[in-house]
Amino acid sequence: MKKDLLKIDDLSKDDILDILNTADQLKYEHKHNIPHEHLKGKSLGMIFEKSSTRTRVSFEVGMYQLGGNALFLSSRDLQIGRGEPIEDTARVLSRFIQGIMIRTYSQEEVETLAKYSSIPIINGLTDLEHPCQVLADLMTIREYKNILEGLKVAYIGDGNNIAHSLIIGTLKIGMNISIACPKGYMPKEEYIARGKELSELEGTKFIITTSPEEAVIDADVVITDVWASMGQEDEAKIRKEAFVGFQINKKLMELAKSNALVLHCLPAHRGEEITGDIIDEHSNEIFDESENRLHAQKAVLLKLMKNNY
């Protein structure tokens, strides 16, 4: 039976740890020039309806390093850009390749692709979730802190796809998380409800607040994202006004632990959601986080595609 990664909740705690452990091993092998061509002869189709730097490069290079091949498929290259139903695209591509990564707007489109395909589907980003990014975040935190369970994560900003995946991913792994968003920009209620359920199951703390200061107190890790994501450019001015006070800066970081990490999925808008000096001060972990997209996604590719065909 094929497996997909459509949202972070598709993974159990053991699945997440397995991916992180595999990613650590693959990173070690990469750094020591040890070949790991476990997907030799296999091909990944990469459907992009949203443009990207990190997602495209990390998946394409990752497949190459695993011995496979990656095909870049924009909506202009596919018949779905001309109205072919996603159901038909799924069935056709399943005859040619061994996996699909899709980066798009609609979570429903990813779910439909998975329903009608016979090969693994990986969510490279939707407006609802960004599971691959959060796996890279968890990998980075563990690299720096050596543990995950019991640590406190504070997310400051928009209750977007990053926030959604962070809530589920951190709580599943036994971490505590505080989410601070302005009124009107909170995570979707289904994720808040699921977060409360997971925190009760794991005995962890889950806080939703409109106060960045409350969220950041004694945090081990502080995470943010842009205030206006791709496709929300027309809301940028309104959002900039709504997010006043939600900037990661020196004053706010004084409330976190003295050795707190700062993470940002990038690209960053310096001077908006985060100041340039904070990025520069925490550049090691931020750019390790970016690099770890490669290693975490290679682990996902292995987990889903190695035994497929």
According to the annotation, is 225 in a ligand binding site? yes
According to the annotation, is 239 in a ligand binding site? no
Q: What was the pLDDT predicted at 231? A: 67
Q: What residue type is 67 in one-letter code?
A: G
According to the annotation, is 270 in a ligand binding site? no
Q: What was the pLDDT predicted at 247? A: 98
Alpha carbons 18 and 29: distance in angstroms, whole number:
17
Neighbours of 299 (CB within 10 A): 23
According to the annotation, is 133 in a ligand binding site? yes
* Residues 96-113, mean pLDDT to the nearest whole number: 96
Q: What was the pLDDT predicted at 81? A: 56
Q: What was the pLDDT predicted at 309? A: 41
Three-class SS of the chain: CCCCECCHHHCCHHHHHHHHHHHHHHHHHHHCCCCCCCCCCCEEEEEECCCCCHHHHHHHHHHHHCCCEEEEEECCCCHHHHCCCHHHHHHHHCCCCCEEEEECCCHHHHHHHHHHCCCCEEEEECCCCCHHHHHHHHHHHHHHHCCCCCCEEEEECCCCHHHHHHHHHHHHCCCEEEEECCCCCCCCHHHHHHHHHHHHHHCCCEEEECCHHHHHCCCCEEEECCCCCCCCHHHHHHHHHHCCCCCECHHHHCCCCCCCEEEECCCCCECCCECHHHHHHCHHHHHHHHHHHHHHHHHHHHHHHCCCC
More confident residue, 119 or 76: 119
The string of pLDDT tens digits covering residues 206-262 is: 999 999 999 999 999 999 999 987 667 778 789 999 999 999 999 999 999 999 999
Q: What was the pLDDT predicted at 82? A: 63
According to the annotation, is 54 in a ligand binding site? yes
Distant-in-sequence, close-in-space partners of 125: CB < 8 Å, separation ≥ 6: 50, 52, 55, 103, 104, 132, 133, 161
The string of pLDDT tens digits covering residues 38-90 is: 999 999 999 998 888 899 999 999 999 999 999 999 877 776 656 678 899 99
* Confidence tier at 2 by pLDDT (50, 70, 90): confident
pTM, rounded to two decimals? 0.95
According to the annotation, is 103 in a ligand binding site? yes
* Residues 140-154, mean pLDDT to the nearest whole number: 98
According to the annotation, is 53 in a ligand binding site? yes
Among 187, 133, 118, CA closest to 300: 133
Q: What was the pLDDT predicted at 48? A: 93
Q: What was the pLDDT predicted at 80? A: 66
According to the annotation, is 181 in a ligand binding site? no
Q: Which residues are catalytic?
A: 103, 130, 133, 225, 265, 293
Output the average pLDDT for the chain.
Answer: 95
Neighbours of 194 (CB within 10 A): 19
According to the annotation, is 118 in a ligand binding site? no
Q: What was the pLDDT predicted at 22? A: 98
The string of pLDDT tens digits covering residues 151-201 is: 999 999 999 999 999 999 999 999 999 999 999 999 999 999 999 999 999
